Structure 1
Amino acid sequence: MIDLLFAGVALVLLLAAGYWVRGRGGHRPTGTWAMAALLVSFACAFGSYVSVVENAVENVVPDGGRLLSNSFTLAAATAVLAFMLQLDLEPDEARRSIRRRVLFLGISVTGMTVLFTASRLNDDSPQLYALYVLIYITYLGVTAKDFGRQTWKQAGHSRRRSQRVGLRVTAVGCVFALLYAAYKVFGLVSIGLELNLLPHGVRCSTPISPVRCVFSVTAPALAVLLITLGLTLPAVVWPFSQFLRRRWETRSFAALALLWKDITDTIPEVVLASEGSQQADDSDFLLHRRVIEINDGVFALRPHRSARVQESAERTVAARGLTGTPEGDAIVEAAILRAAVHTKRTGPEPMTGAPSMTGLPSTHGTRPGTETVPPPPRTPSRPGDLRAETEWLLLVARAYTQNETPTRAPTPTPEPLTPSGTDPRT
């Protein structure tokens, strides 16, 4: 089971590294190669724990799997720092800092190799092994602390939600790395003082058995997985979120078609001039343009917005219990727009009291410019960005398409006359 865990983690890390290295539209984000080095180093570190690999290495160098795994772990820690430096510093300064870190890595791995060899030549001297662990855990612990602190701090400044979540997940992974470092320090004290608090030669059969395996196996495995997930999450979520955004824009563009067509057929001057065919497939551009044209048309129809139609629509909305809701406001606005479009197309109808030529009640009962109502004001839930305006217009377009309220406001029905033509009340 433990071999499956290590092999699975190594495979996931290699796949993540391949995703980072693969070019996405000819563009690679800053720190791509540092991230790939981080993931490959962690993959090699965990791969060295697999029994087949570990046995093959130890057949050549007894206990050499530990040195190999620890060296790859320090290489991954260096890659973490390189990734962080490339994001925070100017390119020239970042390159200088990365070169110094790589130099420190070489010195640390060389020192660990010398101490490991000397320990083997001196009957596994606990003091030499303690110095070996000291170099390893110092490098690893300092890196985990700095990286965890910075990722948590940067999470509060990130605008994209996936970045905030990813950086916080990475910071949690650094906490597990520090837990592993604390376990190693405890073991270092035990070895240096020859307390034998941690038995040697005990292999982990599961990630939680014996108990020390929680710290020696589970904690670093969780640290690597969480760091990998946190750093890779924004890169994975970004294309998916862009796909969802484009799909929403395309569907919204189509849903606004009828409202847009009626308005632009009535007021063609609100249609913006074409800027070329290079943006014909840009869903954001097309939707933004359609929203602007609809809003311009709504503004141009202001002289034809009937207060009587508004009152009639509000009564209908109140009867359905939707007063004060976005849906109810949209139904009222749709009724007003439908009547305004009709009035703009047919021209002003006769004054109040005169029947229309169609025999239907008059839309306004007044000439354009009287008894009009302004467009609904922007509410706090509509900050004015494209999505908020589109969501509002989608509600209006849905009500406009369904024609949920009468286009015209009702007029009082005159009382019937008696056969003699006199009022029955006289």
Structure 2
Amino acid sequence: MNAVFLGMACLLAAAASYWILGRGKPRPAGTWAMGALLASFALAFATYAPLFENAVEAIVPHVARLLSNSASLAAATSVLAVSFQVNLQPAEARRRIRLRLFLLGASVSGMAVLLTVEQMTHRSPQVYALYLLLFISYLGFAIVDFLQQTLRQSKSTRRSSVRIGLRMAAAGCVFALVYAAYKVTVLFSLGLDLHLVPDHARCSSLVAVPCVFSVTSPALAVLLICLGLTLPAVVYPISQARRHRWEVRSFDALGPLWQDLSAAMPEIVLSAADIDEDGANDSDFLLQRRVIEISDGILAVRPYCSRSVYEAAQRTVDAGTEQGSAIVEAMVVKAALAALQSGHPADEVAVPSATDTASRAGDLRAETQWLLRIAEAYAHAHGGTLRVADGGQPEPAGA
């Protein structure tokens, strides 16, 4: 148990140090609250370890319980503070946090006084019951408050990592409620002298009763809430790296189509005068620019897109699929570029489907994926897999 709890305490302390000292400036909203949350959980885990408990109680008898409970309340308050700062307006978040901090200070001060009285009265069960009542009242209030916010936010968020993290935190709240229910049971046992729970029992196993409720449940609650709240921060740089790789690969894959369109119509290339050094190295900006230029080029070449080529291409491939539609578009664009270079506009212009265009409006990823399909088909046509025969009729190469 010492290895488990002290190991988790060290990991959480390191995470707290990174969150507070290693995030750089300007610090995002909730940085200090998250640091306090991780530090409080680190202290809570440390107090669960028998080695730490024996060490501190050798100095002040029975103080480990107060440290553990105080850390739990501080962590619960920090959880609420993180949620408030991320999801509420700054003024409202500060107002709610101040109220919770006042309640936290009052609860911890009252618990310290009651612990002192309990020791002076030879561990009176009645005083201990009052101590538990004060502790569980604030903890239960904080858990229910955070659980409600977590469930509400998990339904509205769009990011999958945030949604999964919030659901993990909600699961941690469930384990915290199990711990709170155990404490209520202890409270009633003391108040009614039922002896349902051994008084001041020490735990030697994580699965033994009542340790599964008094130690394992809060430990799982701490672990799930910490993982849930930090998951988006861990996943974000990974998702950003994957997105950057996709943007770079997409930019390169669109190159051949862009080169032919821009060579035939140099006016589609946007001005580079307003691009700063950061923009020139930003894969997202460069990809958006290339998508816009290709889209403008396809629109500009539309007067040369022959309806007869379009209809012949539809007969050649299965135009009912996205890949088939992309092949048709690539064949039409290739024929249109040839017609543009020869100076022969189409007698009857092929009109693209408005439904397909509307479904991609404002969605860069969807538009990019559509152009990638066209670029792939265009590259095959350009390389000889498909060609436009005399008379503007597309046909497989070697036919």
Q: Tell me which amino acid in the other structure corresponds to 1:196.
A: H
Contact 1:334 1:400 in 2 (8 A): yes
Counterpart Cα distance in 2 of 1:108 and 1:115: 10
Are residues 1:395 and 2:373 paired? yes
Unaligned ranges ≥5, structure 2: 394-399
Q: Tell me which amino acid in the other structure corresponds to 1:405.
A: L
Q: 1:407 to 1:203 in 2, by over 3 A?
A: farther
Counterpart Cα distance in 2 of 1:96 and 1:55: 39
Residue in structure 2 matched with residue 407 of structure 1 by the alignment:
388
Q: Deviations over 1:65-107 (max 9, x none)?
A: 1111111111212222333343455545544543443333222
Q: 1:310 to 1:89 in 2, by over 3 A?
A: closer
Residue in structure 2 matched with residue 153 of structure 1 by the alignment:
152
Residue in structure 2 matched with residue 196 of structure 1 by the alignment:
195
Are residues 1:369 and 2:346 paired? yes
Q: Tell me which amino acid in the other structure corresponds to 2:375.
A: A
Contact 1:42 1:224 in 2 (8 A): yes
Contact 2:306 2:346 in 1 (8 A): no
Q: Tell me which amino acid in the other structure corresponds to 2:329.
A: E
Q: Deviations over 1:352-411 (max 9, x none)?
A: xxxxxxxxxxxxxxxx23133123434375344111100000000011111242223678
Give the deviation of 1:212 after TM superposition.
2.5
Are residues 1:164 and 2:163 paired? yes
Counterpart Cα distance in 1 of 2:77 and 2:61: 26
Residue in structure 2 matched with residue 335 of structure 1 by the alignment:
331
Contact 2:306 2:349 in 1 (8 A): yes
Are residues 1:386 and 2:364 paired? yes
Residue in structure 2 matched with residue 280 of structure 1 by the alignment:
280
Counterpart Cα distance in 1 of 2:369 and 2:91: 46
Give the deviation of 1:165 after TM superposition.
2.4
Are residues 1:241 and 2:219 paired? no
TM-score by length of 1: 0.85
Task: Give matches, 1:339-354, under 5 Å.
Answer: 339-348=335-344
SS of residue matched to 1:27: coil
Residue in structure 1 matched with residue 252 of structure 2 by the alignment:
254
Q: Deviations over 1:11-70 (max 9, x none)?
A: 332233233224445231112101111110111111112122111112122322111111
Give the deviation of 1:163 after TM superposition.
2.2
Q: 1:371 to 1:54 in 2, by over 3 A?
A: same
Counterpart Cα distance in 2 of 1:290 and 1:334: 17
Residue in structure 2 matched with residue 361 of structure 1 by the alignment:
none
Task: Give matches, 1:166-315, under 5 Å.
Answer: 166-200=165-199, 202-208=201-207, 210-274=208-272, 275-278=274-277, 279-315=279-315
Q: Tell me which amino acid in the other structure corresponds to 1:222.
A: L
Greater helix share, structure number: 2
Give the deviation of 1:232 after TM superposition.
1.2
Residue in structure 2 matched with residue 355 of structure 1 by the alignment:
none
Aligned-residue RMSD, C-alpha: 2.2
Counterpart Cα distance in 2 of 1:107 and 1:283: 52
Q: Tell me which amino acid in the other structure corresponds to 2:270.
A: L
Counterpart Cα distance in 1 of 2:232 and 2:268: 40
Counterpart Cα distance in 2 of 1:388 and 1:311: 25
Task: Give matches, 1:59-98, under 5 Å.
Answer: 59-92=58-91, 94-98=93-97
SS of residue matched to 1:407: strand
Unaligned ranges ≥5, structure 1: 349-367, 413-426
Residue in structure 1 matched with residue 396 of structure 2 by the alignment:
none
Contact 2:178 2:217 in 1 (8 A): yes
Are residues 1:56 and 2:55 paired? yes
Q: 1:94 to 1:382 in 2, by over 3 A?
A: closer
Q: 1:124 to 1:411 in 2, by over 3 A?
A: closer
User: Percent of pairs identical after alignment?
Assistant: 55
Q: Tell me which amino acid in the other structure corresponds to 1:217.
A: V
Counterpart Cα distance in 2 of 1:308 and 1:206: 80
Counterpart Cα distance in 1 of 2:33 and 2:353: 53
Q: Tell me which amino acid in the other structure corresponds to 2:321.
A: T
Q: 1:245 to 1:24 in 2, by over 3 A?
A: farther
Counterpart Cα distance in 2 of 1:92 and 1:207: 43
Residue in structure 1 matched with residue 397 of structure 2 by the alignment:
none
SS of residue matched to 1:406: strand
